[in-house]
Structure 1
């Protein structure tokens, strides 16, 4: 397990784990399968990335709206912007490892589509999502109501 003693649980209640060799292999097989498509879609080349982390959300686990490369700037309890603090994080990749839990959906806080509907995804086993790590794609994880939610995350630098 990765130490996360400094976490403010009102903002983020997750457990971080180091990956096993089996999970590392699973992730790399998946990313290699789609690497060319990802690079073409975003118009980038994936450079080096961080090591993968395993995210565990137990019952009650959640993560408030955040950007993966920036700190939230708040004013009167509202997000007014983001200050980049991890500039090497350009793309986020998330691979969901299970779906046998209630809650735990991911919402992109600032994105809307037709009829102003919120962009909310229910994780499915094996589903991978890739998105820019900056504030426009800030996201949150809804509270897990029952069971445990597991995902692999990796951040990429790109050119």
Structure 2
């Protein structure tokens, strides 16, 4: 394995693979991803979760399925991704934008980038049985006849940085009304010093920030019980 931060290693396969974008955090940091604690208070997280659960009409999330020239053709494929997209209230959308401006300099320093444009904020709902298989946010995975990964082709180069804000906690931390079991965020190619795959159990208000390239391929494990809601955005950036 290749060491990419003080505590984290990546798989030899992905470390040696030729990629169109290989953005990494400073290797002298403890972790190659950034966790911002208390981006929102527990109370605001509860409000957002309650609004999505009781008020917003969700629609099925799509996946990047193929490339037509330089055009990505998204479609619903529940064998890859089973989740719903909700819209936030104007109040919560505004609060998110105000808070993001506060934390943007920290994100830019951590990854040595200057954020430029961002996608529309998505509120992603996972309920019992929902999941998202291994994927890279900026690329489609290439597999051989045996289903083994052989490479990646970049299809969304405007995605440099991914931000995921949890408004519901994993039940390891809380058993409140809006919480979940299962549904861990797993980084498929990242491991700790003991060789254990990196698996995150977030608290409500945690924002996870990481580069969108294949080194940070990830999945959401199936929800066993409860309600998982995340606010997700992808950001273009000038890479220093």
Which TM-score tier does this pair reach, normalised by the shorter chain? over 0.9
Matched ranges for 1:123-142 at <5 A: 123-142=202-221
Task: Indicate the SS of the match to 1:45.
Answer: strand
Q: Is the 8 A contact 1:62 1:104 kept in 2?
A: yes
**Structure with greater strand share of residues:** 1
State the partner residue of 2:167. Answer: 97
Q: Which has the larger radius of gyration?
A: 2
CA contact (8 A) 1:71 1:85 kept: yes
Alignment match of 2:91 (pick from 11, 14, 22): 22
- 1:109–1:82 distance in 2 versus 1, CA, 3 Å: same
RMSD: 1.4
Q: 2:111 aligns with which of 42, 47, 68?
A: 42
**CA–CA separation in structure 1 for the residues paired with 2:92 and 2:201:** 21
Q: How far apart, in 2, do the equivalents of 1:24 and 1:35 lie?
A: 16
Matches within 5 A, 1:3-152: 4=61, 6-75=75-144, 76-99=146-169, 100-152=179-231
Q: CA deviation at 1:82?
A: 1.4
- Counterpart of 2:9 in structure 1 is none
Taking the aligned partners of 1:52 and 1:123, their CA distance within structure 2 comes to 19
Give ranges in structure 2 of 5+ residues lacking alignment.
Answer: 1-57, 63-74, 170-178
Q: How many pairs align? A: 159
Is the 1:95–1:129 contact (alpha carbons within 8 Å) kept by the matching residues of 2?
yes
Higher relative contact order (CA 8 A, sep 6+): 1
**CA displacement at 1:3 relative to structure 2:** 5.1
Deviation string, structure 1 residues 80-100 (Cα, Å, up to 9, x no partner):
221110110000001001121
State the shift of 1:74 in Å: 1.3
Give, in angstroms, the shift of residue 4 of structure 1.
3.9
